[in-house]
Amino acid sequence: MSHSLQSDYKAKTTTGRIAHYVDQRVGVSGIVKEFGRKIFPDHWSFMFGEVALYSLVILILSGTFLTFFFNPTMVSVTYDGSYVPMKGVDMSGAYASALDISFDVRGGLLMRQIHHWAALMFMMAMTVHMLRVFFTGAFRRPRELNWVVGATLMIVGILAGFTGYSLPDDVLSGNGLRIIDGIFKSIPLIGTYISLFFFGGEFPGSAIISRLYSLHIMVIPAILLLLVAIHMFMVVIHKHTQYPGPGRTENNVVGFPVGPVYAAKAGGFFFIVFGIIALLSATFTINALWNYGPYDPSPVQAGTQPDWYVGFGDGALRLWPGVWPFPWEFEFLGGTWVLSVLLPFALMAGSVIMAMVFWPWIERWVTKDNRVHNVLDRPRNAPFRTGVGVAGIIGYATLMIAASSDLIATHFHVSLNDVAYALRASFLVGPLIGFYITQRICLALQRKDRELVLHGIETGNVVQLPHGEFIEVHKPVDEYRRYALVDFESPAPLPAQPNKKGKVNPIEKIRAGLSKIWFEDRVVAVTPAELEAAHHDHHSDNAVEGSVSASLEK
Amino acid sequence: MKALSQKRRHPLAALVLLALALLLSGGLYAVATATNEAQAATSTSYSAEDIAEGQKLFVSNCATCHGTNAEGSVDGPSLIGVGAAAVDFQVGTGRMPMQMQGVQAQLKPGQFNDEQTMQLSAYVASLGAGPTIPEDEYLDVSKGDAANGAKVFLANCAMCHNAAGVGGALTRGKFAPTLMGVSEKHIYEAMETGPQNMPVFSDVNITPEEKRDVITYLKSQEVNTPVGGFALGSLGPVSEGLLIWTLGLVIVIAFTLWLTSRAA
Amino acid sequence: MGNHSDGVKAHTSAVVTSQEASQERFPDPGLPPHAPRLTDVDSKKAKGAERQVVLLFVISILGSLLFWVGYFGIEVSGNFYDVMNPEPNKMLRLQNLLMGLGVAFAMFGIGIGIVHWARSLMPDHEMVEERHAVTSEEDRAEAQEIMETIIEETGIKRRPLLRNTLIGSVILAPLTFVTLFRDLGPADPSVLKYTMWDEGVRLVRDPSGTPIKAADVTLGSAYHVLPETLSTLTHENGYLEEKAKSVVLLMRLDPSELNVSEGREDWNVDGIIAYSKVCTHVGCPIALYEQRTHHLLCPCHQSTFDAANECEVVFGPAGHALPQLPIRVDSEGYLVSQSDFHEPVGPGYWERAKHVKEMAGEA
C-alpha cells in the first residue's frame, strides 16, 4: 500500500499540530486559505444583512425552546392554569399551552417575547438591508439573481411570520386566519376549493393549527435556511460590493480580512443583536395573547391588526372601495368575481412585490447598462433610482399605515373615514410627488458636491483683499475626498433605438420616454479641466451652474 | 357516598333536614328582603329638596339643549325616562354639559360636585322611570367572576373598546373610549344606559351579576401591572411594529455606526 | 486565491491615465495613508483598552449571574391578573425583567467586548484583494465540452423514444403525490350555503345561551345572538364551523326609521332586526354597532353597513349587504327565526351567485 498520500510534515506550534491533525483528515487548509484572510469592506449600512441572519439564528434557538412546551392542537380543553380571567374557560390545546408558556413555564414568557421581537427584528433588518441594496445599486450585474433570492427570502419571511402569528389560536390570530379564508375565497374558479382544502373543510375546522405548525417549524425554516445558504454562497462568489472612494475600483475589494478583525466584529455583533433583542424582551410586552381570549368566531376586538410586515396587505384590503363607484363584486362568466378583495391583493400589494423582484431587469431595460458593477452608487448619484425607491417606500408605507387607520383616527382625533380618503389619495399621488421631490433633492446634493470640489469648503474666515474686496476663504478638499466626490457616472437619456428592421417599436418608445424622465436633468462629475478653470476664475459662482446646463442633453 | 347513604336512614336525619330547610329558607328570606330594602332605599332616597335643587341646576345648565322640561330639542334628546343612571354617568364623567356640539361628548373634568350630580339625577329620575344608580353589591369586584366577565366582555364589548379595554375607533370621528381608570359605577351605568352611540345592555341582556363580572375583569386588567414589561398602550401589533422601527432601528444603527467606525 | 496587499502598495499601483484622459477624469489617488490609532502609538492606551475589554467580559459574567438571580431568586407563585392580589403579576414582571436584562448584559458584554477588542487592538490596516471574473473563458469552454460528452455518452439525443418516455414518467410520478393533497378537505362548496338557522329556531344570547324575549330588546340595545340548536354541537362535530356562519347581531330600531324592501316586510318584529355578523368583505365579525347612527362597523377593514337601510354598504371595502335573518315571535314571546338566511353569509366566493339563485329557488 502506497503511503504517498501521507505527509511527513511536523508542526512546531500547538495550533499548527491541531490544524495539521484536522487537515489530514478533512482537508480544511483549502478553506482556511480561501476564507482566512478574505477581505470584507466595512460600512455601517452593510451590517443589516447580518442583523437579519443573527435574528434568524435567535428565532431558531428560541423557537426550538417554545416547541418543547407548545401543543399544536385544536382539541378543546378546559383551562386550569394560573391566569385568572381564563380559569375554567374552554379553549383549544394550542391556546392553553400558549398561556402556560406565558404564565406557568419559568422563563417561558421571556422566550416568547424574545421569539416575537426577534421576528419583528428579522423582518425589519431584511427590509432595511434590501433598501440599502436597492439605493446603492448593489443588485446590478452580476448580483441580479441574488437580489431575487433576497426578495424570495423576504416573502418566505412574511409566510414564516404569519404562520407563527396564527399559532396561538387566540381571537386576534383567528380573525387573521378568517381574513386569509376570505382572501382565498376571492380567487376565481378555485378559491372556494383552496379554502376548503387549506382549513380541512369549513373555516375554522380542526386541522389548521397543526398544519400551520408543521409549515412554521419545518417547511418554512428549511426553505429559509436553504435560501440563506444560497444567498451567502453567492456573496462569497461575487465578493462584497464597496462604496466609491480612493483606491476602490471595479476590480478590487478594499476592507478588512476575515481573520481576525472582521470575524471578531461580525461575531461580536451576533451577541450585540442578541443583547438588543433580550433588552426589548425584558422591558416591552409583545403580543399579550392572554388579553384576546381563545379563538371563537363571534368576538372580535378593536385594533385587529397583523404584525407590521403583513400590514401592507391588510392596508390594501382596507383602502379598496367595495361599492364605489360601482360594486366591485359581480357575476360574470358563471361565477362571482370578488374584485374588492382580489384586486387589492393582486394589484396593490402584488405590484409592490413584483416591481421589487423584477427591478434589476426593469432598470437594465431602461438604461441598457449591462456592465458588471462592483462599486456602488451613492444614492444621490443615481437620482432616478433613488426617486423610484422613495416612491416605492411611500406606496408601501401608505398601505402599511392604512393597516392602522383606526388607531390613527383615535390617536390624532380625526375621522376614520377621512383617514381612509387621505390614504387612498396618498397611494395614488404620493409616489409621484415623492419621486419628483427626491430626484430634485439628489440633483441639489450633486450640485453641492460639485460646489465643494470646485470651490472647496467654506472656512468662515473672511479676509479683505489689498484692493478692498472682502472674500471668504475656501479651503480646497484634499485629493482623497475629491476623488470620492467625482468618481461617478451620469448617464444621458438614451433615445429610442430602431430594431433590426429599422423600426422603433412602441415598447422602445416607452423605454426612451422613461429614460428621458430619469436622465433628462442630470449633474455630471467635475472634471480636472473644470477644476482648473474654476481656479482661474475665483469670482464666477456660475461655474457650477454653467457646467450643469452645459451638460443637459436633449 | 356509602357512609352518607347509611346516615340518611338514621332516625335523626329527618330532624336535621328539617332544621337545615328552616335555616335555609329563613336565610334566603332575610337576603331577599334585605335586597328589596336596598333597592327601595336607592330609588326613593331622593328627597323633594334634592329634586327641587336638581331642577334649578337643570334649568340653568341643561335646558338650553334638552328643553326647560327636559322634553328635548333639536340640539339634545329628551331626558324623560333616561333615569338617574344616565345623568350620573354623563354628568359624573364630565361629558355633560357638553362644551360644544360635536359628534360625541368628550370626557372632561366634571362641572358639578357629587351632591349636585345627585340632585340632577334626582330631578331627571323624577320625570319618568329609568335605569337607577347601581347597587354597591354589583360594583364589588371581590364578588365578581373575572373568567365569566372576560367571556361577556369579549363577546359584547371588546369589538369597540379593544380586548384590553383601551378603546378604539368608530365611524366619522366617533370613538369608543378607554375603560382604564373609569370607576366601577360609571362602567355599570354605561352598560345600563348606552350613552352616545353605545348600544344599551339592559339587565335582561347582561344581568347585573354579569355586569359585575365584566367590571371585575376590567379591574383585574387595571390594577395589575403588565407581566411582560411596558404594555405599549395594549394596542397590539401596531405599537409593537412602531417600536421596532423606531427604538429598535435606532439602537441597531447606533451599534453598526460604532462597529464600523475607526477607533481614535 | 486572493492577491493581498496593504494600502501603501495600492497607492503606488494606482491606475496611470494618459494626459488627455486626466483632463476628463481625476486619477485615483489610491488609499489614503494609514493614520495610527492612539492604541497603536501609546502602549498605555492599549493597556487601557485591554482593561476595558476585560471589564466588558466581567459585565457579561455578572449578567449571566443576574439571569440566575431572576430564575432561582424570584418566587413567582399564585394567580395572575387576580383583581384582589396584584402581587404575582409584579413578581412575574420582575422575573422577566431580571432574566431578560441578565441575558442582555451577558450578550452585550461579550459582543461589545469583542468588537472593542477588534476596533482598538487588532490591526486596522485596510487591505486590498483583487477581484476575479466569476468564471474564466477556458473553464467555460472546458465545462461545455464535458457536458456535451456526458450528453453524448448517454445517447439521449440519438434515442428519442427513450427520452420521451423518461420525460413522461418523470412528469407523471410526482403527480401521484400531488393527488394525495386532494383529501386535505372536502370539495363541495355547497356547504357554504346553509347555516343552523331554520324555521322556529330560538335566538339565544352569546355567550350565556339564554333565549330572548322580544320585549327585552329595547330601543338602542344590541344582542349578540346564536341559534339555540348550536349548543347540541361539540367542538368535535362542528361547533366552531357552524358558529362561524350563524353568528347574528340583533338590534332594535324605531320601525319608522327602517327602510324595508319588498318581500322583507315581515322579517322584522316591530323594529327588531337580525343580521349576519359575518362581514361580507373577508369575514371578520362586524360587531360594532352605533345605536344612534344605526351604523355597523367592521373593526378589521372598516366596512360600514347601515342597519336602517337593510345593512347596505355605506363605506369601506365590503362588496355586498349583510344577509338578513327573518325573525318572528313564538307562542311564549321568544324571538325565533323564520327560516335560514336567504343567501350565503360571509365573504363573496366564486360559486356565490349560483348559490344565491339556487336558494331563491328553494325558498
Rounded CA separation C217/B206 (Å): 12
Closest by CA position to A293, among listed A69, A80, A95:
A95
Bond prior to B97 in cis (omega within 30° of 0): yes
pLDDT of residue B7: 54
Which three three-digit cell numbers place residue C150? 456526458
CB pair distance less than 8 Å for C243 and A205: no
Secondary structure (3-state) at A374: coil
Q: Where are the domains of chain B?
A: 48-127, 136-223
| Of the partner residues B160, B162, B227, the one whose CB lies closest to the CB of residue A109 | B227
Rounded CA separation C314/A88 (Å): 41
Rounded CA separation A395/A426 (Å): 8
pLDDT of residue A540: 46
Alpha-carbon A307 to chain mean position = 16
How crowded is the C-beta side of B125, counted as CA atoms within 13 Å? 24
Instruction: Band the pLDDT of C137: cuts 50, 70, 90.
Output: confident
Which C residues in the span 62-121 are in contact with A, Cβ-Cβ below 8 Å? 71, 76, 78-83, 88, 92, 95-101, 103-108, 110-115, 117-119
Residue ranges, chain A, pLDDT below 50: 1, 540-554
Give me the architecture of the A42-231+258-309 domain, per CATH.
Up-down Bundle (1.20)
How do residues C266-306 score in pLDDT, each as one tens digit? 999 999 999 999 999 999 999 889 988 999 999 999 999 99
How do residues C197-209 score in pLDDT, each as one tens digit? 999 999 999 888 8
Residue A315 has a CB neighbour count (10 Å cut-off) of 27
Residues of C in contact with B142 (CB under 8 A): 83-84
Bond prior to A204 in cis (omega within 30° of 0): yes
Give me the percent of chain C exceeding a pLDDT of 70: 94
For residue C71, count CB atoms less than 10 angstroms from its CB and return exposed for 0-12, middle for 13-18, buried for 19 or more.
middle
pLDDT of residue C150: 92
Residues of B in contact with C80 (CB under 8 A): 224, 227
Place of cell 399605515: A401
Task: Give how far C128 is from chain A: nearest CA, Å.
Answer: 4
φ, ψ of residue B42 to 5 degrees: the values are: -70, -35
CB pair distance less than 8 Å for C80 and B224: yes
Which B residues in the span 204-233 are in contact with C, Cβ-Cβ below 8 Å? 204-205, 210, 216, 219-221, 223-229
Partners for A (CB, 8 Å, 3+ pairs)?
B, C
Rounded CA separation A398/A423 (Å): 6
Q: Kindly state whether B254 is in contact with chain A, defined as any CB-CB distance less than 8 angstroms.
A: no
CB pair distance less than 8 Å for C284 and A175: yes
> Nearest-5° angle of CA A43, CA A250, CA A228?
55
The answer to whether C202 and C228 are in contact (CB under 8 A) is: yes
Query: Residue C316: closest CA among chain B residues belongs to which residue?
Result: B171
Which C residues in the span 316-335 are in contact with A, Cβ-Cβ below 8 Å? 316-320
Residues of C in contact with B261 (CB under 8 A): 119
pLDDT of residue B28: 52
Rounded CA separation A31/A346 (Å): 46
CB pair distance less than 8 Å for B144 and C83: yes
Average pLDDT value over all residues in chain B: 82
Q: Kindly state whether B252 is in contact with chain C, defined as any CB-CB distance less than 8 angstroms.
A: no
CB pair distance less than 8 Å for C299 and A302: yes
Q: Kindly state whether A110 is in contact with chain C, defined as any CB-CB distance less than 8 angstroms.
A: yes
**Close Cβ partners of A477 (under 8 Å, ≥ 6 residues apart):** A452, A453, A456, A457, A485
Q: Kindly state whether B4 is in contact with chain A, defined as any CB-CB distance less than 8 angstroms.
A: no
Residues of C in contact with B176 (CB under 8 A): 288
Q: Kindly state whether B109 is in contact with chain A, defined as any CB-CB distance less than 8 angstroms.
A: no
CB pair distance less than 8 Å for B155 and C288: no
Burial per residue of B62-86, b for 16 or more beta-carbon CB atoms within 10 angstroms, e otherwise: bbebbbeebeeeeebeebbebbbbb
pLDDT of residue A537: 66
The answer to whether A103 and A83 are in contact (CB under 8 A) is: yes
| Of the partner residues C23, C79, C350, the one whose CB lies closest to the CB of residue A528 | C23
Secondary-structure percent of chain B, ordered helix, strand, coil, rounded to 5: 60, 5, 40
Query: Residue B250: closest CA among chain A residues belongs to which residue?
Result: A276
Which three three-digit cell numbers place residue B249? 432601528
Can you tell me the ipTM of this complex?
0.91
pLDDT, mean of residues C100-111? 97
The class level of CATH for B136-223 reads mainly alpha
The answer to whether C204 and C212 are in contact (CB under 8 A) is: yes
Rounded CA separation A73/A66 (Å): 15
In chain A, list all ranges with CATH 1.20.810.10. Answer: 42-231+258-309
How do residues C229-247 score in pLDDT, each as one tens digit? 999 998 888 899 999 999 9
| Of the partner residues C32, C99, C350, the one whose CB lies closest to the CB of residue A336 | C350
Residues of B in contact with A305 (CB under 8 A): 236-238
CB pair distance less than 8 Å for C295 and B171: yes
Task: Give how far C195 is from chain B: nearest CA, Å.
Answer: 20
The class level of CATH for C191-353 reads mainly beta
CB pair distance less than 8 Å for C38 and B263: yes
CB pair distance less than 8 Å for B251 and A299: no
Residue C91 has a CB neighbour count (10 Å cut-off) of 18
Secondary structure (3-state) at A77: strand
Rounded CA separation A442/A387 (Å): 8
What is the pTM (predicted TM-score) of this model? 0.90
CB pair distance less than 8 Å for B228 and A407: no
Task: Give how far C315 is from chain B: nearest CA, Å.
Answer: 9
pLDDT of residue B22: 57
Place of cell 488609499: C31
Rounded CA separation C344/C283 (Å): 12
CB pair distance less than 8 Å for A37 and C2: yes
Closest by CA position to C115, among listed A363, A273, A112:
A273
Partners for C (CB, 8 Å, 3+ pairs)?
A, B
Q: Kindly state whether C291 is in contact with chain B, defined as any CB-CB distance less than 8 angstroms.
A: yes
Q: Where are the domains of chain C?
A: 1-33, 39-128, 191-353
CB pair distance less than 8 Å for B229 and C97: yes
E strands present in C102-210: 127-130, 203-205
**For residue B17, pLDDT beyond 80:** no
> Nearest-5° angle of CA A60, CA A65, CA A68?
125
pLDDT of residue B23: 58
CATH assignment, B48-127: 1.10.760.10
| Of the partner residues A88, A287, A409, the one whose CB lies closest to the CB of residue B169 | A409
Residues of C in contact with A349 (CB under 8 A): none
CB pair distance less than 8 Å for B200 and C89: no
Bond prior to A325 in cis (omega within 30° of 0): yes
| Of the partner residues A121, A279, A410, the one whose CB lies closest to the CB of residue B167 | A410
Closest by CA position to A181, among listed A70, A73, A297:
A297
**For residue B76, pLDDT beyond 80:** yes
How many contiguous H segments (helices) and E segments (strands) does chain C have? 9, 12
Q: Where are the alpha helices (DSSP H) in A219-368?
A: 220-238, 263-283, 311-319, 339-343, 350-367
| Of the partner residues B171, B224, B225, the one whose CB lies closest to the CB of residue C297 | B171
The one-character DSSP state at C80 is B
CB pair distance less than 8 Å for C39 and B156: no
Average pLDDT value over all residues in chain C: 89
Place of cell 482648473: A532
Instruction: Band the pLDDT of C136: cuts 50, 70, 90.
Output: confident
| Of the partner residues B162, B169, B230, the one whose CB lies closest to the CB of residue A285 | B230
Burial per residue of B163-198, b for 16 or more beta-carbon CB atoms within 10 angstroms, e otherwise: bbbbbbbbbbbbbbbbbeebebbbbbbbbbbbbbbb
Residues of B in contact with A404 (CB under 8 A): 238
Residue B39 has a CB neighbour count (10 Å cut-off) of 12
**CA gyration radius for chain B?**
26
Longest dimension (CA), chain B: 100
| Of the partner residues B144, B197, B210, the one whose CB lies closest to the CB of residue C291 | B197
Task: Give how far C332 is from chain B: nearest CA, Å.
Answer: 16
Residues of A in contact with C104 (CB under 8 A): 275-276, 278-279, 282
Q: Kindly state whether C131 is in contact with chain A, defined as any CB-CB distance less than 8 angstroms.
A: yes
pLDDT of residue B26: 52
Which three three-digit cell numbers place residue C251? 338590534
Structure-model confidence comparison of residues C103 and B114, the more confident one: C103
Q: Name beta bridge partners: C289.
A: C296
**Torsion sign over Cα B71, B77, B80, B86:** negative
pLDDT, mean of residues C70-76? 93
